[in-house]
Amino acid sequence: MTTVTVIATGGTIASFAATPGGPVTAGLTGDSLLEALHTRPEGIDLRVENFDAVGSYALDLATIHRLCATIDRVLEEDEVAGVVVAHGTDTMEESAYLADLLVRSDKPVVFTGAQRHAGTPDTDGPRNIADAIRCAASPALRGQGAVILFEGDFHAAREVTKVHTSRVDTFRSPGLGKLGEVDGSVVHLYRQRPAREVLATSVLDPDVELILLGMGSTPKYLDYCADANVSGVVLAAFGRGNAPKGFADAARRLVDRGVPVVVASRCAEGRVQPVYGGDSGGTTLAEAGVIFAGSLQPVKARLRLSALLGADTPTTEIREAFAD
């Protein structure tokens, strides 16, 4: 019989309101999640491991680094075919991406959760858990890295993002689409993801800042970052990777101090590339020494940089690691 381990970390799927209309908090165990299943997937032996039960908005990098180590430990067991991680949706795409980067095993790692908490009559948690279990047990997902399963669709962790605050079909992969879907009890893989690179690091550097740029933003915060001795900065920039006036000079001051500055795009699709000149256009930023993140989303570029810095990666190798 195939064995799947469910790791419960809290989130909406494990949350309920203690009083009608009161605040929703996490607290249900993995066993409770399995008890709520309408139908258990057949032919699969289920195990439970309870992790920190909190809303995903309260998680930090050290906790998720520890979660990735837990996933690896569980997957080292020969009889375990895959893992399901029950997780909050707020930062699920970030935790899944870190698992994609850090987990050594090529066995399936499937993140899932809910948009409607466990106390609501139409909670989406039980169906998502059941479908995620089917994915974790499927040989088709071996070698596909971490995925997110919601509403029957599963997406590659590198590409997926949360696009709606409350809808149950919130996870999408803009421009690329899902990897596959669960239809009834059958898992269908429609495309293969590119080969992934596993990063080995004993710590994720927490001192990498992410700055969202808007029209007329000033580079003052970049100078603050220099004074605060941050480890790295990611700019969520315009379009192809452009910034408001003054950002190239401010970025150069950081780069000259050995602080990597990575540029990603605010856009949901496409990749950054130095095309435009002028004050803080992409080519000017490139001349200042920034690193372009290709098609990687800004929040994930921050995580990749945190992992690389945690591993004491030289700047030249960091630049290569972001080559898309």
Please list the active-site residues.
Answer: 12, 89
The token duo for 127 is: 């169906």
DSSP string, 18-64: SSTT--EEE---HHHHHHT-SSPPTTEEEEEEE-----GGG--HHHH
Q: Is 89 annotated as a binding residue?
A: yes
Q: 172-184: buried (b, 16+ CB within 10 Å) or exposed (e) per residue?
A: bbeebebbbbbee
The two counts, helices (H) then strands (E), for the chain are: 9, 16
Q: 113-132: buried (b, 16+ CB within 10 Å) or exposed (e) per residue?
A: bbbbbbeeeebbbbbbbbbb
Q: Strand pairing of 180-183 and 153-156? A: antiparallel
Q: Is 131 annotated as a binding residue?
A: no
Q: Is 138 annotated as a binding residue?
A: no
Provide the annotated binding site for substrate: 56, 89-90
Provide the annotated binding site: 56, 89-90
